[in-house]
Amino acid sequence: MSSTVPRPADLRPGKALSIFDPVFIGIDEFGQPVYLPLIYRNLLIGGEPGAGKSGLLNGVVAHAACSLDCKLVLFDGKQVELGQWRRCAEVFVGPKLDQALSVLRRLQIMMDRRYAYLLAWDRRKVGRKDAFDPYVVAIDEIAYFSATVGRKQDREEFASLLRDLVARGRAVGIIVVAATQRPSSDIIPTSLRDLFAWRYAGRCTNDSSSDIVLGHGWAQKGWTANTISPTNPGAGLLIAENGSPRLVKVAFLDDKTCARIARYAVDLRADDWNVPVERPVFAS
Ligand SMILES: Nc1ncnc2c1ncn2[C@@H]1O[C@H](COP(=O)(O)OP(=O)(O)OP(=O)(O)O)[C@@H](O)[C@H]1O
């Protein structure tokens, strides 16, 4: 049932977050909070099924959903991993490669126009006070769109549009957060991996999968997500470009908590309190 009744002030949600602020993702091995500055950066999340990738993805999307200075675009072939956030998103792409391609093409056009704007004003990147908002583009299971469904040429187009967005989107406020349970070189070629400033490897089945996410040679130096216990989901190695891996335990948002945060974010984003939202009617 929906409500068109203006909310009493004390029932209105509190403050929003900002995508320009670092995102809390969990704790390190000393128990210290770990924050990721995501603006002007991208995040790659890899690991075997059940490693806890969705936990990290949901945490980042939750922050973005509660950030009124940012828009959300969600790709989820399974639909249920990011589905709870669909009401906060500009676009929610389910298991449809043609829709995924059309959304990526539109993002590419927007990116080009933003660059034209920056050039016209002799600027290098967008800032907090720009009229156009940053976008968080979250993809759960890159491989679904780039290697599993549809025609080969469409999958290739998906991979090439994604690469372009990851390569050029940063300065114009397009942040790509992409997860895969298939950290192999066909899904994450080195040329794509190296464009992600942040990379997180949850438990991997072998050293080479871990290296595909973190970067070549880390397993040999003793940093491999293969050593993470299968009974410790949410633990993984996080690396920033030019940095060293760091063990992190990701904060876990269960389904109920995600649903509550998503409802809160929908309320935050409803700029007109008379706009119907899917909430129970308040007693007047
Ligand atoms: N940070 C965490 N702390 C505690 N438990 C966790 C954490 N992350 C995940 N889990 C547990 O592990 C389960 C699997 O996690 P999750 O669905 O995030 O894995 P995944 O890597 O996304 O799997 P898939 O690739 O199959 O989607 C969760 O349902 C939860 O029970």
Q: Whose CA is nearest to atom 25 of ligand 1?
A: 49
Distance in angstroms (rounded) separating the CA atoms of residues 120 and 94:
37
pTM of the model: 0.89
Range of the domain at 78: 44-269
H helical segments located in 174-226 = 190-193, 207-214
pLDDT digits (tens, 9 = 90+) for 43-64: 999 999 999 999 999 999 999 9
What average pLDDT score do residues 210-230 get? 94
Position 202 in a domain: yes
Ligand 1 pocket mutation pick from 78, 182, 249, 252 by most atoms within 8 angstroms of CB: 252
Position 34 in a domain: no
pLDDT category at 150 given cuts 50, 70, 90 is: confident
Does 81 appear as a known binding residue? Answer: no
Number of domains in the chain: 1
Q: What is the dihedral of CA 204, 223, 252, 163, to 10 degrees?
A: -70
Position 12 in a domain: no
CB atoms within 10 A of CB 227: 14
Specify the higher pLDDT residue, 122 or 276.
Answer: 122
- CA-derived radius of gyration, the chain: 19
Position 86 in a domain: yes
Distance in angstroms (rounded) separating the CA atoms of residues 273 and 282:
13
pLDDT digits (tens, 9 = 90+) for 107-136: 999 999 999 999 999 999 988 888 889 999
Position 155 in a domain: yes
Position 258 in a domain: yes
Position 274 in a domain: no
What pLDDT was estimated at residue 281? Answer: 41
**Ligand 1 geometric centre to CA of 274 (Å):** 38
Position 159 in a domain: yes
Please answer whether residues 178 and 144 qualify as being in contact, where contact means their C-beta atoms are separated by less than 8 angstroms.
Answer: no
For the chain, what is the mean pLDDT?
A: 88
Q: Assign residue 221 the CATH number of its domain.
A: 3.40.50.300
Q: Determine the atom of ligand 1 nearest the C-alpha atom of 234.
A: 1
181: Cβ below 6 Å to ligand 1?
yes
